[in-house]
Structure 1
Amino acid sequence: MRPVLHTDLRDAARALLARPAQDRLYLCRRMLKEATWAEHHVRRTGRPHPLWGNGTLSDAARKRVLADEPMLDDAHYCECMVLVLLGLRDSSARTSGLLQHRKG
């Protein structure tokens, strides 16, 4: 996945907000995987993946319906942002662990 910017966080949270609460964790994990897979595709072919985009989390999110962006004091929107941030943290930790394992 390409480096994550504020736009990526916002778009991913909006995609989650557009879905029922029980679907959000799965969708968050799926978008993170799609962004990663898309980046690998771009590196191999030089072109965006037809379904998952250019390797940004924003592109993976924008392939879905996005809720209108609420204010930051909206509790459900905040929960979605936290879910994306936790997913990014967990994804980063897994990647770091793999890199450390390969070096050792």
Structure 2
Amino acid sequence: MRSVLIGDLLAAAEVLAAVPEPARADRLARLLRGAALAERHRQRTGRAHPRYGDGSLMAAAMKQPRAPGAVRDAEFRRCLGMVLAELE
């Protein structure tokens, strides 16, 4: 997976906010695996992965349904915290 930037964090949190809380850990794990797979694909072929994009977390997230995030929304902040904790 490419280096994670703030846009990656926000996009991933939007994906998590779009699914019920019990499914979020699995969805996050799949996003991270997809981004890593895409980065390996990009390095090997020089092209973006057809399903997961260019190897960034944002590209993988943009292929998923997302709930528009607002920092004022407590649920979105919990999702953002979950992404940050997993990356740590």
Same fold at TM > 0.5: yes
| Aligned twin of 1:82 | 81
| Aligned twin of 1:17 | 17
User: 2:68 aligned with 1:64, yes or no?
Assistant: no
| Aligned twin of 1:94 | none
Q: How far is the alpha carbon of 1:74 from its aligned partner?
A: 1.3
Q: How far is the alpha carbon of 1:73 from its aligned partner?
A: 2.5
RMSD: 0.7
Distance in structure 2 (CA, Å) of the matches to 1:12 and 1:86: 12
| Aligned twin of 1:32 | 32
Describe the superposition over 1:28-76 as per-residue Cα deviations: whole angstroms up to 9, x where unpaired: 1110111011000000000000011100000111110111122x12110
Structure with greater contact order relative to length (CA < 8 Å, sep ≥ 6): 2
Q: List alignment gaps of at least 5 residues for structure 1.
A: 90-104
| Structure showing the higher helix proportion among its residues | 1
Identical amino acids, percent of aligned pairs:
42
Aligned residue-pair number: 88
* Structure ID, larger Rg: 1
Q: List alignment gaps of at least 5 residues for structure 2.
A: none
Q: What TM-score does the superposition give when structure 1 sets the normalisation length?
A: 0.82
Residue identity opposite 1:14 in structure 2: E
Distance in structure 2 (CA, Å) of the matches to 1:77 and 1:15: 10
Q: What TM-score does the superposition give when structure 2 sets the normalisation length?
A: 0.96
